[in-house]
């Protein structure tokens, strides 16, 4: 007789297998945009755990609390931007300390920000995050010094053109002053939503 423990283990492995299959992003941009439209977008929210711990370790508790509050406020702004301006597919939010679960496509194990009681089922998904390009791209001879809203696969690798995989958070660089004119999170998310809709319509004609 098959034991209950064996059946439970088999069921868990089956769920992981289904999740891994669902997480495989198609190779072409046209298939990728349909993949996202039929799935969900997971937005990664930074926690800055390492830097905050370093501050606490050296006794800078007030500064650590200030930095933690600033990061939470920034995360709240980004979540509000997606809720107000992103309609291409359902969107959910997870903290960066759960990144390994996303790498393993364990969506059912994610504790979602804003709705911790919800459990996701295996399904197609991409990841979005607001990050420095130097954080997203591997080290190399070319230095990237800009911030953008990136779309990535479950291993946090950015997709590539012609898929609309990023929106820079500045409009134009004025070389005389070397200042950047920034897009707000709401503007960046709105532009990402528009580009995805346009590319989807083009790919399904």
Note the pLDDT tens digit of each residue in 88-126.
999 999 999 999 999 999 999 999 998 889 999 999 999
Confirm if 125 and 44 have CB atoms less than 8 A apart.
Answer: no
Residue 43 lies in a domain: yes
Q: Which domain holds residue 43?
A: 21-203
What is the structure's pLDDT at 30?
A: 96
Residue 1 lies in a domain: no
Residue 14 lies in a domain: no
Residue 150 lies in a domain: yes
Tokens of 113: 């920000």
**Nearest CA among 194, 205, 24 for reference residue 125:** 24
What is the structure's pLDDT at 49?
A: 86
Lowest pLDDT segment from 13-22, 79-88, 189-198: 13-22
Res. 176 pLDDT band, cuts 50 70 90: very low
What is the structure's pLDDT at 4?
A: 59
Residue 196 lies in a domain: yes
**Average of pLDDT values for 19-27?**
69
Q: Count up the domains in the chain and report the number.
A: 1
Residue 107 lies in a domain: yes
Residue 7 lies in a domain: no
Res. 169 pLDDT band, cuts 50 70 90: confident
Residue 199 lies in a domain: yes
């Amino acid at each position: 007789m098959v034991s209950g423990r064996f059946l439970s283990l088999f069921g868990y492995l089956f769920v992981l297998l289904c999740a891994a299959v669902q997480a495989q992003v198609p190779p072409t941009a046209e298939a990728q945009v349909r993949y996202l439209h039929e799935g969900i977008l997971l937005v990664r929210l930074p926690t800055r755990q390492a830097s905050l711990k370093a501050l606490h370790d050296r006794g800078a508790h007030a500064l650590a609390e200030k930095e933690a509050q600033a990061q939470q406020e920034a995360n709240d702004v980004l979540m509000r931007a997606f809720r107000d301006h992103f309609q291409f597919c359902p969107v959910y939010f997870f903290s960066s300390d759960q990144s390994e679960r996303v790498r393993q496509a364990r969506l059912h194990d994610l504790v979602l920000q804003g709705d911790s009681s919800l459990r996701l089922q295996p399904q197609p998904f991409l990841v979005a995050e607001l990050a420095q390009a130097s954080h997203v791209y591997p080290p190399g001879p070319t230095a990237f010094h800009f911030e953008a809203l990136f779309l990535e696969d479950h291993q946090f690798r950015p997709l590539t053109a012609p898929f609309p995989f990023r929106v820079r958070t500045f409009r134009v660089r004025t070389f005389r002053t070397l200042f950047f004119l920034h897009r707000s999170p709401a503007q960046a998310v709105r532009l990402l939503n528009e580009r995805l809709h346009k590319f989807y319509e083009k790919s399904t004609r």
